Amino acid sequence: MSKIHVTATVNGDPVEFLADPRETLLDALRNHLDLTGTKEGCGTGDCGACSVTVDGTLVCSCLMLAAEANGKRVETIEGMAKEELHPLQRKFIEHAALQCGFCTPGILVAAKALLERNPDPTDTEIRYWLAGNLCRCTGYDKIVRAVQDAAAEMRQDHRGAA
């Protein structure tokens, strides 16, 4: 079976790899690029553990072929922290918003996408935005609080910078 040459930008780095046409972006990230922070929880778009952004849009990387990523800009959990942790990452630790931590990368990527669109979401908006990110450990309570706290801090920083 002939493979497809894929060139993309992942977390700002140029990457290229050969993908089986059936391989998903999730498979490619994990198995070709060793970016195992993106998780597979279901493979059917129902759990959100594989959340990444592609050209700025939040998607499930299990629902996209690796070949479709050709020429695209992909951001994963591994690209979230720069020199310092992203406020969401820090607040998740401080609020104990993770227990097993397996859903955490997907939830952080999804929450970051939310705050970029809506810097001041209500609890309900957070819950509906994250409805596709299953967490079995926390009951979501501390996750919602951590997102709110990070959003508040980011708004503060934004005002401080303006």
Partner 1 sequence: MRYHTPTTFQDAAAIAAASTGTLRFLAGGTDVLVQMRAGMVQPDDLIDLKHIPGVDRIEKTPEGGWRIGVAVPGIVLGAHKELVRDWPGVVEGMNLVGSTQVQGRATLAGNLCNGSPAADSVPGLFAAGAVVTVTGPKGSRDIPVEQVPVGPGRTSLAKGEVISAITLPPRAKNGGDAYLRFIPRTEMDIAVVGCAVNLRLDGDRVAEARVALGAVAPTVILSEACAQAIIGTTLDDAALAALAKAAKGAAKPISDKRGTKEFRIEVAGVLARRAARIAYDRAKGMKA
Partner 2 sequence: MARDDVKTGYKLIGTRPNRPDGLDKVTGRARYGADFSLPGMLWAAVVRSPHAHARIVKIDASKALALEGVKAVVTRADLPTGLTGEDLNLQDNTLAGDRALYDGHAVAAVAATSQLLAQDAARLIEVEYEVLPHVTDVDAAIAPDAPVIRPGVADYSVPEGMHGNVARYMEFGHGDVEAGFAAADVVREHTYRTEATHQGYIEPHAAVGQLGEDGRGEMWVCTQGHWYIRRMSAAVLGIEAANLRVTPSEIGGGFGGKTTIFMEPLTLALSKKAGGRPVKLVMSRSEVLRATGPTASASMDVKIGMKKDGTITAGQVYFRMQGGAFPGMSPIGEALPCAFACYDIPALKHEGIEIITNRPKAAAYRAPGSPMAAFAVESMIDELCRELNLDPIEVRLKNGAKNGSKSSYGPVYDVIGLQETLQAARAHPNYSIPLGPNQGRGVASGFWFNHGGETSVSLAIGEDGTATVSVGTPDIGGSRASIGLMVAEHLGIPYENVRVNVVETGALGVNEPTHGSRATFASGKAAIEAANQAIREMCRRAAAEWGIEPEAVEWRDGAAHPAGPNAGKHPPMTIGEIGAKMGSTGGPISGHHEVTAGGYGASFGTHVVDVEVDPETGRTTVLRYLVVQDAGTAIHPAYVEGQYQGGAAQGIGWALNEEYIYGPDGRLQNPVFLDYRIPVASDLPMIDTVIIEVPNPGHPYGVRGVGETGITPPLPAIASAIAGATGVRIRSLPCSPPKVLAAIKAAKG
Q: Are 67 and 56 in contact (CB under 8 A)?
A: no
79 binds partner 1 (CB under 8 A): no
Q: Name the 3-class secondary structure at 152.
A: helix
- Residue range at the interface with partner 1 (CB under 8 A); choices 10-18, 59-67, 140-148, 152-160: 59-67
Site for partner 2 in 8-27 (CB under 8 A): 20, 22-23, 27
Strand duo 51-54 + 4-10: pairing: unpaired
Q: Cα(127)–Cα(19) distance, rounded to whole angstroms?
A: 35
Site for partner 1 in 17-36 (CB under 8 A): 21-22, 24
Closest approach, Cβ 147 to partner 1, in A, equals 13
Closest approach, Cβ 16 to partner 2, in A, equals 19
Closest approach, Cβ 77 to partner 2, in A, equals 4
What contacts 9, CB < 8 A, 6 or more positions away? 15, 72, 73, 74
Residue type, 158: H
CB neighbour class for 6 (10 Å; exposed up to 12, middle 13-18, buried from 19):
buried
15 binds partner 1 (CB under 8 A): no
77 binds partner 2 (CB under 8 A): yes
The binding site for partner 1 (CB under 8 A) comprises 1, 4, 21-22, 24, 43-46, 48, 51, 54, 57-60, 62-65, 67-68, 110, 113-114, 128-133
